[in-house]
Amino acid sequence: MIYLVTGGAGFIGANFIHYMFNKFHDEIQIINVDKLTYAANLPNLESISSALIEKSCYIFEQIDICDSENIERIFRTYKPDYVINFAAETHVDRSIISPQVFLKTNVLGTQVLLDASLKYGVRRFHQISTDEVYGSIEEGYFTEQTPLNPRSPYSASKASADLLCQAYYSTYQLPITISRCSNNYGPYQYVEKLIPLVITRLLRKESIPVYGDGLNVRDWLHVRDHCDAIEKIIHRGKDGEVYNIGGNNEWKNIDLIYFLIKKIKSVLAKSTQEEYIYNKLITYVEDRKGHDRRYAIDVSKIKEELHWEAKVFFEEGIQETVTWYLQKEK
């Protein structure tokens, strides 16, 4: 099978490529298409074996998914069976400053990929989305039937891409699936995201900014569990369906930061005095515009239909993540 992975040099995309080769070895071919923006990092994939590269099991192409001519060439040359679209502008703060960039990549780029997938008859086009398309929820959980209510330019662009995928399924019968995941953590994540931001700033003893009162709630999912879910969806999911993926692991932002302080102290065997210094590094800042209060998603559907569940315990996953960033900082 041939898999076209867009955004494969980014955080989740790189982890997915590693996951697929760990599971299927040289029985598959992966074409990684990435524009290599600031959040991408090709060294994330440098551990892929030379044997896989020599066999052309892994091929990298530096291309913008909005570049219809080159995307057409990729489809014509490699004829992928599956397309998994990780390519996206993702950081909410950046979308507030420059919405147009997000609309171009996340909506128009998805449309270019959908057109090529339709023309070349892929078996499955899978869109990587986010729980942020549902908006904010005070209590209870988002299901796949929850109406979309995006509240930032980022989430609006992702919701638009989701609707476009569903339109291609309804109009052209293109076999699509969509997954909406909660906040991911793990190795290879760009440092502007909360967990790597906190870890790296703690290691450097730099100030940690906390939006508003720090009581916003997010559900955290290890990226390896996310990759497992995606693999199950693309091979066994139903055409046209949406699947929520979450860790059932809610944390208030401020509680998570203090947990990370404790974990780093444990990993580094720091003294009580140094822990006090870490706590002093927390700085409350003006809240983000349109900051959603809480995300929480119901994952019953993917558990029942595809027998998936999160397996990485949060404390173990965080320790692994802290250790990874510690080694990276050396």
Q: 131 with 182: CB under 8 angstroms?
A: yes
Which residues are marked as active site? 131-132, 154
Residue 124 backbone zone (phi > 0: left; psi -120 to 50: alpha; other: beta): beta
What value, to the nearest 5°, has the Cα angle with vertex 214 and ends 102 and 274? Answer: 110
Please name which of 246, 5, 288, 6 lies closest in space to residue 134, comparing C-alpha atoms: 246
φ, ψ of residue 62 in degrees (nearest 5)? -85, 100
Q: 71 with 112: CB under 8 angstroms?
A: yes
| C-alpha to C-alpha distances, 40 to 20, 30, 190, 291, nearest whole angstrom | 19, 17, 8, 25
d(CA 58, CA 56): 5
d(CA 10, CA 190): 8
Q: 8 with 55: CB under 8 angstroms?
A: no
Strand duo 242-245 + 176-181: pairing: parallel
Q: What is the dihedral of CA 249, 229, 226, 116, to 10 degrees?
A: -140
